Amino acid sequence: MSQKSRWIEFGRRLGLREQRLFLSLKAYLGDAVMTAPLVDVLTREYLHVAALTAPFVQPVLWSPNRDLEFLPGRRDRSPWAVVRHAVELRRHRFDVGVLLNRSFRAALVARLAGIPRRVGHASEGRQALLTDPVPFDEEKFEAYCSLDLARALGLNAPDERPRLVLTDVEREVGDSLRRDGAVGLQPGARFPEKQLPADVLLEVAQRLQGQGRRLVLLGGKEEQGDASNLAAKLGAPVIDLVGRTSIRETLGVLAGLQAMVGADTGVMHLAAGVGCPTVTVFGPTPAKKWGHAYEPHRVLLAPEGQMVNVRAEPILRAVAEVLGAA
């Protein structure tokens, strides 16, 4: 046990602070990245932190510097599943629950599990299920909004930008996969309304290749068709890693890129988390809340909030800016 843990344990025995904390998270990559500063605070201040989220999200928050347990997720959405889940959580005897998942269901499970202190944003009419409801600011940068929950617990939690930690080995693996690739592109998106128009992405890719920049395509398996179509139309070969890398491998690749270009997707948040300069185009989602509007990143807004209105020139200008600053 570290010196910090000994002091935390000493405080628990004196009844100074709850020690076993349950963290309920959403099942999206971008949300996980935004949660990283909060997780850092909680794992520093509590003796034991257990997080519940989808299995594919867990690698985002893994770090050699964090003592964080992951609880198995539950796919069953039936009413009886709420009771079963609450019974399972009760066995852990958590002292406090931080419900970053803003659903009514998450708060109900924590209440039925008998967690004495339940902190969460006041949303979906669940205030009565929370001991510490926190106002939810719909315009506040999501990472800072998450830290409001730590502050509600009385913790010292200044606003921090998301930062994901990689090991030296993971960086080396990423460099091996990236090879001589300099700029990353995401050819697709999980939600069609967020996706960059194919002709715009093609023009951006061609112009970057014309500048002598080797391109790396990154994304999930569902985007492999988009990646193949883009690669087939380009004159120079690209490094197509779409659907071929794990989350941790993707982080390693992103960490070595000069820039990453795409729409508002989980991969773009991963890039920002490892410090890769990003150019992100926002359509229907609020950029003020989800955009990394600080150096070395650029946040672009689709005209009228519609991705079909996006053109290549603003993207290329933003890429030139971040590459010039690199």
Residues 64-77 have pLDDT tens digits of: 888 999 998 766 67
Q: Is residue 92 part of a domain?
A: yes
The whole-angstrom separation of Cα 246 and Cα 63 is: 15
DSSP-derived secondary structure for 71-128: EPP----SHHHHHHHHHHHHTT--SEEEE-S--HHHHHHHHHTT-SEEEEE--TT-GG
Shared-domain flag, residues 182 and 309? yes
Q: Is residue 158 part of a domain?
A: no
Region of poorest pLDDT, from 9-23, 28-42, 224-238, 299-313: 9-23
Q: Is residue 160 part of a domain?
A: no
Tell which residue, 125, 156, 98, 140, has the closest CA to residue 288.
140
- pTM, 2 dp: 0.91
Phi, psi of 217 (to 5 degrees): -95, 130
Shared-domain flag, residues 186 and 283? yes
State mean pLDDT over 275-291: 96
Domain enclosing residue 218, as ranges: 168-325
**Residue 126's pLDDT is what?**
94
Shared-domain flag, residues 30 and 90? yes
pLDDT tens by residue, 150-168: 999 999 999 999 999 999 9
Q: Is residue 81 part of a domain?
A: yes
Residue 198 confidence (pLDDT) above 90: yes
Shared-domain flag, residues 210 and 241? yes
Domain CATH number, residue 281: 3.40.50.2000
**Residue 16's pLDDT is what?**
47
- H or E element at residue 132: strand 132-134
Token pair, residue 248, equals: 């941790």
pLDDT tens by residue, 219-271: 999 999 999 999 999 988 999 999 999 999 999 999 999 999 999 999 999 99
Higher model confidence: residue 12 or residue 93? 93
How many folded domains does the chain comprise? 2
